[in-house]
Amino acid sequence: MSTFMLIPGAGCDAGYWRQIADELRGLGHEAVPVRLPSEDDAAGLREYADAVVEAIGDRRDVVVVAHSFGGFTAPLVCDRVPVERMVLISAMIPAPGEAPGDWWANTGHETSDDDDVFYNEFPPELRAEAEQYERGQSDTPMKLPWPLPAWPTVPTRFVLFRDDRFFPADFMRELVRERLGIEPVEMDGGHMAMMSRPAELARLLL
């Protein structure tokens, strides 16, 4: 049995992992959606990693799973505690010394505030549920350099969503190859496919 620590993206409550967590538990594993202090102006990336490490506690056979902005936090966790592997899901991939706020310009990708890029494949009732998980996001973690000198030595996988409008597939394929030196695993779905396609994504995580 593995324990999946589920790290959310920016400005989101961890509740949007609920369906994935249920799927993983139904398959005989433990799943822990981790709430980050995203609205706390005193919290930076180190404090985000602290929240995950505290949630892990003395658990073993840990798989760290991170979505979107969670990609900046997951490697910090894996550098501090023993884990089986790290899985990035349509996630930002940091470079040493790179502040999250600089990631967009450094990668040549433009940000968007249009909610349609997050929920492009959602029917109205699922979008309404997803919007309940939206939270404020402090700028504090965006300003400080990512503190690791190199990627942690832990097996890393990347799941790419082919229909993602926030991090488009062509852009992410190149970034994964450039920054991680691996080929992503691909599946259909938009940026929030953990809600629209939970069973398929849970199988990929296993």
Q: What is the mean pLDDT of residues 141-145?
A: 95
| Domain span at 127 | 3-205
26 sits in which H/E element? helix 18-26
- Residue 1's contacts (CB-CB under 8 Å, 6 or more residues apart) are 28, 29, 30, 61
d(CA 163, CA 122): 12
Question: What is the pLDDT at residue 116?
Answer: 81
Residue indicated by tokens 């073993």: 60
- Asked if the model's pLDDT at residue 23 lies above 90, the reply is yes
**pLDDT level of residue 159 (50, 70, 90 thresholds):** very high
What does the mean pLDDT of the chain come to?
95
**pLDDT level of residue 112 (50, 70, 90 thresholds):** low
203 sits in which H/E element? helix 198-205
CATH label of the domain that carries residue 108: 3.40.50.1820
Please state, for a pLDDT cut of 90, what percent of the chain lies above it. Answer: 94
Question: What is the pLDDT at residue 110?
Answer: 80
Q: What is the mean pLDDT of residues 30-42?
A: 97
Question: What is the pLDDT at residue 113?
Answer: 66
Q: Of 109, 62, 64, nearest to 89 (Cα)? A: 64
- Asked if the model's pLDDT at residue 114 lies above 80, the reply is no
- The number of distinct structural domains making up the chain is 1
State pTM to two decimals: 0.95
Q: What is the mean pLDDT of residues 185-205?
A: 96
